A and B are shown apart, each in its own frame.
Chain A
Amino acid sequence: MRASTPKPARLSLLALALLPLTQPAFADEAEDRRLLTKPDSSILVGVGSINRDNSRFGQYLGLHEKGSYGLFDILSVTRDDTTGTWLRIDARNLGLTSRDIRIDHNRQGDWGYFIQWNEIPRASQYTINTRLAGIGSGTQAVAGEPVARDVRLETLRQAVLLGFDKHFGNGYEAQVRMKSEDKSGSRLFGRSSGDFIAEPIDSTISELEATLGFVGKSFQWSAGYNGTRYDNHVTALFATGGAGSSFSPIALPPGNQGHQFYISGAYAFTPATRAHAKLSWGRFTQDDAFIPVPTANPNLTGKTQLDGRIDTKLFSAGLSSRLLPALSVNANIRIEDRDDKTPAVRYGAAPAAGSTFDGLYEPRSIGTRFAKFEGTYRLPAGLSLVAALEQDNKERFVPPGPVVTVAARQKSEETTWKLEARRAMSETLNGTFAWHKSERDGSPLLTSTGFISGLPTSNLVAPFNVADRERDKRKMSLDWTPTGALSFQLVGEDSDDQYTGRPMGLREGSERTVSIDASLALAEAWQITAWASRSRTSGMQVTQTCTTSVASVCTVVGQVWSATLGNVGNAAGLSLRGQLKTGLELGADLQRTKDRANFDVVAVYPTGVAPPPTSNYSVSRLKVFGRTALNKQVSVRAEVTHERWNTDDWTWTNWAFADGTRVLENARQSITFLGVAVQYRF
């Protein structure tokens, strides 16, 4: 339920769009040439109908409710050939809540501006049966409605974009871009103790970017400012009632703002040796007033906001050169610092002995040092060999005290070797093979210790983003075009990860993808393409149950258990395009995807507790469409799409919130969309 979502328009501009149909069509040679060489314009007007409510097919299109919708697109492109002045109006989906309108007006090589209106709806895939009152607002009451009703949570993004361009004629150019995007609606939320609540969304993202640049024969630069601002119009959610009423209010994202300046440049020392660089500085602040708290916090005295501040710096540079006709080299470095300058003051109450938390603000500073060197050597017979070495180092700020709640690592260093061979084996055959091997390690993993006791707590897991890791990755591709009408492409990728350093957490991971594509031009006016892919990812991790823990140390272990999580995705597509006769075009797209998620837990489960089973998801979609030309300018288009969506995902099946709220998904969705439209081309 989202009161602010506009309903789709129904054919409201149909009459306007049909006006051009009353005009006679030209059929002489000059008109033929004009149609071939001058910009295209068209108006499309029609009606579409979908036969059932759905939560997948129309999720982002505004087509999730059964009914009829106006189909209305405008593409108007005019060019004044004497001045090179363009006016382009591109309006799509005007009859839907996914509408997008952009007007560009520019004189080529001189000036230009545009204005754009863009909407992105999102309807949740779930129907929620709940008694929650106040959905969409910052004040909600758990079980506040006398009777549960079905609600669908939706969000809508509505953005206005403006842009201005000016070329000054001597290589200098200026550009301004502005965006203001409102996001409204609600999304699935919840809180401790098992209450259902819905996060209200009512916020605005604003962005301004202005750049001044120069483009010369061998030297180019640009300098600019990027300003961003986030305003949340609901910063706290007060939720009464329910089992978790003490968890109120809940803070919602605070507003923040950022200012960033940058300068980029590129220079060609010679036609074969070029360099580029970028420097940027940013300051990002967050000074939203704290939400009111129900219980006095003595540490808050005098503090009304965080005074959060992040300063960023970036230096990036690259040099590429063809040193010899057969040898090219390429070097890149990137130095990036994100300094958290937020005052590290104490917000929490005095911690108890054994606590892993001391109440201090924890800065999230991080620095990145990246360097890459790559060489390409071109051998005879179309063979190219590529070798590259990459070094990616990160340094994180870790508070000097003894407290970390999960293992931390100040420095991590990852080295990657890449070897690649590419060969153009003939005019019709290309092949590549690549092997990447990387190793990540770093400074010692810091141990977690109790705040007052100073004794080690649990230190069994190395977080996956900093853990020691070895990765092997291989890629291959083959493109074969035996004839001008027939082509094949085969792509394969696989990688293996091994994690070490601590006995638990993620231990290994793998990924495999194989894909084949084919295309055949049956005749000049008919073509068919087909593709199929299979991908599989897998990860194995280890943890343990803890029967008794004291001061964040597990003193009695229940059992050590592991889980291998896998995902297998199979997808295939078949497309046909053709011209049955002059003026009659037909096409069809058939696509089938099937995904399976496995949760292979190796453990002794308690009585009454069942492990998570496999989840399956499949989508079959057939789209058939055609266009018949009534004359050179008017055509009729028709489309039928049938989609079936199936899942046995168990995420919400046996779940009811403590207040009785149920989250339901229509596990079998079958919809048919029928659209008919008239297109006038001019």
Chain B
Amino acid sequence: MTRTTLLTWLGTAALVIAGLLVSTAVPAQGTAKDVVLKGDAKCTRCHDENEAYPVLSIGKTRHGTVADSRNPTCTSCHGESDKHINKPSDSKERPKPDRLYGMRPTIPAEQQVDRFFGFFGKNTATPMAERNSACIGCHEGGKRMHWAGSAHDSRDVACTSCHQIHTSHDKVKDKQTQPEICYTCHKEQRAQMNRPSHHPVKEGKMTCTDCHNPHGSAGEKLLVKDNVNDTCYTCHLEKRGPFLRGHQPVAENCSNCHNPHGTTNDNLLKVRAPFLCTQCHEPTSHRGNLPGVTGGTVGGTGSGVSIGLARSCLNCHTNIHGTNNPASITNERTFRR
């Protein structure tokens, strides 16, 4: 066992033991008259876990924490719904609650496969703004500061389009399952994430929300930072520089050359070299030569394998993001040392 391995395991054990110790210090839970929330009896008398619209699992969630006086009740979100509770005698069908949020109720959230559907089942008569206001009334500020007018807000995406309320396992908040929810609408990104070169999203090591804030942001494309590069620097800070010799498109926008959602080219390159490079660089000297899979000379610059195989232009121009090398020998600006 290497020293790093030993340290890793000691750290792991310490974290787990510390957590379990603190766990035992938490006092025992109390009891409440209603099943979960104050006044929920008028709902839970019908809506238990055997009913078509089960609701009790809200008790597992932060909304079911009765000690938090800020928490809503059933009617805070769904309205008083008097006609739903007391079905008028002249009504054939029981009227729906005052506010509905649109969902497929028959399958508990934990057992659903994927929610591939734009707005998750049937439309509801409750206007989108009214649905969202029930959430925004409490969940304002912070990371939701820029929600109003954001891409999701202006396209009538409801909070409940992505979030499931009556479950302890809200898929969109779990890094293993979050992409399923985002792919509900973002099909192109789903296709790209399955390509050979991709960020470890499908492996569950990254999430869409590592880069995007679906609740709105001050930057472009709902990015968590103010621009593309600052978002990429969150993990790739070595690319920030500034470098003694910097590469203009690198400093301007990482997505000039990379597609962060996935490509068939190594390193998430949109197009492989030399084709990518000749989209900017003039065809003088060797730059217009023909890439090939045979012929030519390794280490050379003629047509053939030297610019067609391996890393192509990057075989020599390795420091393509920029270099801080102060040498002055020959052509230092070409990122070769």
Contacts and interface: CB of A to CB of B under 8 A. Distances in A.
A1 interface: no
Nearest to A192: B316
A654 B293 contact: yes
A118 B194 CA distance: 23
29 contacts: A61-B205, A76-B19, A81-B29, A81-B30, A101-B16, A158-B8, A175-B142, A195-B299, A213-B141, A250-B319, A276-B145, A278-B226, A286-B240, A303-B326, A314-B218, A364-B248, A406-B248, A407-B282, A458-B284, A477-B185, A517-B117, A527-B112, A535-B188, A543-B278, A546-B287, A607-B295, A610-B293, A619-B194, A654-B293
Interface string B292-328: 1111101110011110111100111011010111111
Interface of B is mostly: loop
A232 B23 CA distance: 39
Contact of B271 (A13, A85, A291, A565): A565
B264 A461 contact: no
A664 interface: no
Q: Which interface residue of B13, B107, B319, B324 has the most chain A CB atoms within 10 A?
A: B324
Contacts of A611: 290-293
Nearest to A375: B154
Interface string B49-66: 100000011011010111
A53 interface: no
Contact of A609 (B188, B304, B324, B326): B304
A186 B74 CA distance: 55
Given A266-B140, A316-B219, A481 B256 contact: no
B252 interface: yes
Interface string B200-225: 10010110000000001011100000
Contacts of B237: 205, 228, 230, 256
Interface stretch (A131-139, A141-149, A483-491): A483-491
Contact of B16 (A89, A314, A569, A615): A89
Given A40-B168, A430-B119, A517-B116, A230 B324 contact: no
A308 B305 contact: no
Interface in B1-48: 1-2, 4-5, 8-9, 11-13, 15-16, 18-20, 22-23, 26-32, 35-36
Given A515-B187, A521-B107, A545 B290 contact: yes
Interface in B222-243: 226-227, 233-235, 237-243
Interface in A464-485: 464-465, 477, 479, 481, 484-485
B82 interface: no
Given A336-B227, A458-B283, A654-B293, A214 B141 contact: yes
Interface stretch (A420-428, A436-444, A635-643, A671-679): A420-428
Contact of A654 (B240, B305, B325): B305
Contacts, number: 567
Contact of A531 (B116, B146, B245, B280): B116
Interface in B116-134: 116-119, 121-123, 129, 133
A624 B23 CA distance: 35
A617 interface: yes
B50 to A, nearest CB: 11
Nearest to B125: A427
B324 A364 contact: no
A117 B57 contact: no
Contact of B26 (A78, A175, A256): A78
A247 B337 contact: yes
B189 to A, nearest CB: 10
Nearest to B190: A533
Interface string B167-209: 0110000000000000011011011101110001001011000
A583 interface: no
A611 B274 CA distance: 13
A103 B249 contact: no
The 4 closest A-B pairs by CB, nearest first: A194-B299, A37-B59, A84-B67, A320-B149
B23 A87 contact: yes
